[in-house]
Amino acid sequence: MTRVGVLASGGGTNLQAILDACGAGGAAGSRAARRIDAEVAVVLCNVPGAGALERARKAGVPAELVPSKGVADRAAYDATLVERLRHSRVDLVCLAGFMRLITPGFLAAFGADAASNGCPRVMNIHPGLLPSFPGLHAQRQALDYGVRFSGCTVHFVDAGCDTGPVIVQAVVPVLAGDTEETLAARILAEEHRIYPQAIQWFAEGRLSVEGRRVTVRGARPAEARGLSNPSLDR
């Protein structure tokens, strides 16, 4: 069973999707069946009162607030996170709306090794089709640019901002009349599908990385036929 440590700053709907997939969903008694070979070993959160903490508590998963506000020494802060994650014997770290850049020291602590099939042990989810619109407010960036499709990306984390090798992406159309909120909601529904799947591929040892390219052994390819938006007249 792959032990996952989730880092979050916000409402924690991606955390919830992961908890649900692990069969640890809500309050005891309303647990769903486990769908992936993983368990959330610990949730770390840097923002007091964040919904993610409450979701972890409801699911009976160990959770800790590690406040980052006013902490200037990023390396020391990340060393604290690493210590907590190691204490919980975490195999894979999933950033789920964690609004901080990870330092090289953190990445080295959860770097690739033979047991991870040469894959880094830190993943992130981004609400955009990388490498377009990295960083903050990806949905607003997509709307402002006028792209016809957006989506989300699960990627391994490197020292850059949303620059690591792409594991899986899901695409949604940008529709006339979309606001940042409606587009974000459409994307979020896809985030909740692809993140647990990426964790499962990692847990099954099906991921490998060569340069920037990630292979998912045995995965079904997407439909070869393209989508257009708007749809073509014929």
Active site residues: 126
Which positions ≥6 away from 194 have C-beta within 8 Å?
A: 125, 152, 154, 168, 169, 170
In the list 38, 125, 143, 167, the residue contacting ligand GRF (rule: CB under 6 A) is 125
Q: Does 11 bind ligand GRF (CB under 6 A)?
A: yes
Residue 192 Cβ vs ligand GRF, minimum distance, rounded to whole Å: 8
Asked if 97 touches ligand GRF (CB under 6 A), the answer is yes
Segment contacting ligand GRF (CB under 6 A): 11-19, 32-40, 79-87, 217-225? 11-19
Residue nearer to ligand GRF on the CB measure, 8 or 174: 8
Among 82, 150, 191, 209, binds ligand GRF (CB under 6 A): 191
Q: Output the six-digit token pair for 197.
A: 């799947």
CB of 17 to ligand GRF, least distance (A): 8
**Cis amide bond preceding 62, omega within 30:** no
Longest Cα–Cα distance of the chain, Å, equals 59
Q: Does the protein bind ligand GRF through residue 134 (CB under 6 A)?
A: no
Is the separation of the CB atoms in 126 and 138 below 8 Å? Answer: yes
Rg (alpha carbons) of the chain, rounded to whole number = 18
Q: Judged by CB under 6 A, which of 126, 183, 186, 201 binds ligand GRF?
A: 126
Asked if 60 interacts with ligand GRF (CB under 6 A), we say: no
202 within 8 A of 92, measured Cβ to Cβ: yes
DSSP string, 125-191: EESS-TTSS-SS-HHHHHHHHT-SEEEEEEEE--SSSS-SPEEEEEEEEPPTT--HHHHHHHHHHHH
Q: How far apart are CA 18 and CA 193, in angstroms?
A: 9
**Residue 46 near ligand GRF by CB under 6 A:** no
Tell me if 96 contacts ligand GRF by CB under 6 A: yes
Q: Does 55 bind ligand GRF (CB under 6 A)?
A: no
Cα 129 to Cα 154: distance, rounded to the nearest angstrom? 10
Which of 2, 13, 46, 150 lies at the binding interface for ligand GRF (CB under 6 A)?
A: 13
What residues line the site for ligand GRF (CB under 6 A)? 8, 10-14, 96-97, 125-127, 188, 191
